[in-house]
A and B are shown apart, each in its own frame.
Chain A
Amino acid sequence: MAWQHWRWMAIASVIALFGLTACQQQEPWALDNITGLMPKLEFKLTNDNGQAVTADAYHGKLVLLYFGYTHCPDVCPTTLATLAQALRGLGTDADKVRVLFVSVDPARDTAPVLKSYAAAFGPQFVGLSGDKKALDALTRRYRVVYSLDKSDAQGNYAVNHSSGVFIFDGSGKARLLGSSSSKAAEISRDLRRLLASG
């Protein structure tokens, strides 16, 4: 009788374990999982202090890479505000994250402009840019496009840019892809999970 009890308990445990593992494997990320689908983080750009910088500078940090331009009144600040909110949700762990805002409008986005712009969203935000060659190398790497609209009479122009937020783990491996419509709470949850696994 006792032996039979043990046998059933063992079987139940095995089933429960399988169940748990299955659950863990199936728990989906809120953002798109791009692990293995996109190349690791690599670029040669200029940071908002005017210094040349590569992806190595952010080794060990979770990196959120977003393309835009500072003269963008709506989508860019909306996305960056959402990322700022997601980072606030991490508490002190927010320091383990860097948001790299890559301007695809280097003509207007000089280092000082980018610096004050990035700082307005939080200390984890960094503005980057570069010449067309450097920008194209990066945008091609992540298969995103950007283009400049024609200038109006006052010389103002809009820029069409990717709405994707590419997320890399501390080793620079591409992991997740969010967008300008991702919710702060979802991003926060996924970032916490990445921090816990790394």
Chain B
Amino acid sequence: MTASKSARNTRFTRHRRIHPFGLMMAVIIALFTCSLALAAPHVSVSNARIRLLPGDLPLAGYFDLTNRGDEDLVLVGASSAAFKMVHMHRSLEHGGTSSMVPVGRREIKPGATVHFSPGGYHLMLMQAAAPLKVGEKVPVALQFAGGQTLQVMFAVNGAGTE
């Protein structure tokens, strides 16, 4: 027990002595590669925008997302440092009445584009960390099944915009 422990310590010490800088770099590169692999789904996002309302009312976020990879993608949510809560929602119209339902996942086939647009799927962004201004851009991380995320900058537009 003690022997193996000391052996391990010796090995570790030897490594440290030989390549302290190399080991650190290896760890950094490994972490970086790992996070890149997780964080880069093959998608393109356009038209990302948030419609600003007065006060601290819940806001809607819209975007168009195309799956550029060759595997199915599943969007499972979003988060943003600029908001305490971000939910995926869908507006529905039934018999002249509008309602809203939460959405847990949205699949995107390879080559397909999904639209988060007014009157349909949208992000609901609640409780802004700080008041937003028209013209600024805020980061929102789109989360995919499997742990991949994609950071997208959303333009903040005025109330009277689409």
> Taking beta carbons and an 8 Å cutoff, which residues of A are in contact with B?
68, 70-75, 77-78, 80-82, 84-85, 113, 116-117, 119-122, 144-146, 149, 154, 156, 158, 160-164, 179-181
Contact = CB atoms under 8 A, between A and B. Distances in A.
Contacts of A145: 97
A73 B159 contact: no
Contacts of B97: 144-146, 160-163
Given A71-B58, A74-B91, A120 B96 contact: no
B93 to A, nearest CB: 5
B132 interface: no
A80 B119 CA distance: 12
A120 B52 CA distance: 9
Contact of B119 (A119, A120, A181): A181
A120 B85 CA distance: 23
B118 interface: yes
Interface of B: 51, 53-55, 57-60, 85, 89, 91, 93, 96-100, 118-119, 122, 124-126, 158-162
B89 A73 contact: yes
B100 A163 contact: no
B53 A70 contact: yes
Contacts of A74: 60, 89, 91, 100, 118-119, 122, 124
Which of B54, B60, B122, B159 has the most chain A CB atoms inside 10 A of its CB? B159
Contact of A162 (B55, B96, B126, B158): B96
Given A73-B60, A73-B124, A144 B160 contact: no
A167 B124 CA distance: 30
A121 to B, nearest CB: 5
B119 A77 contact: no
B119 A122 contact: no
Nearest to B124: A73
B96 A81 contact: no
Contacts of A82: 162
Interface centre among B53, B85, B100 (most CB of A within 10 A): B53
Contact of A75 (B57, B85, B98, B158): B98
Nearest to B126: A156
Contacts of B162: 78, 81-82
A162 B60 contact: no
B154 to A, nearest CB: 14
A70 B56 CA distance: 10
A122 B158 CA distance: 11
Nearest to B159: A120
A123 to B, nearest CB: 12
A127 to B, nearest CB: 11
Contacts of B54: 116-117, 119-120
A160 B125 CA distance: 19
A117 B57 contact: yes
Given A72-B58, A117-B53, 6 more contacts: A72-B100, A74-B119, A77-B51, A121-B160, A144-B97, A163-B93
Contact of B93 (A85, A122, A158, A180): A180
Contacts of A75: 91, 93, 98, 100, 118-119
Contacts of B60: 73-74, 77-78
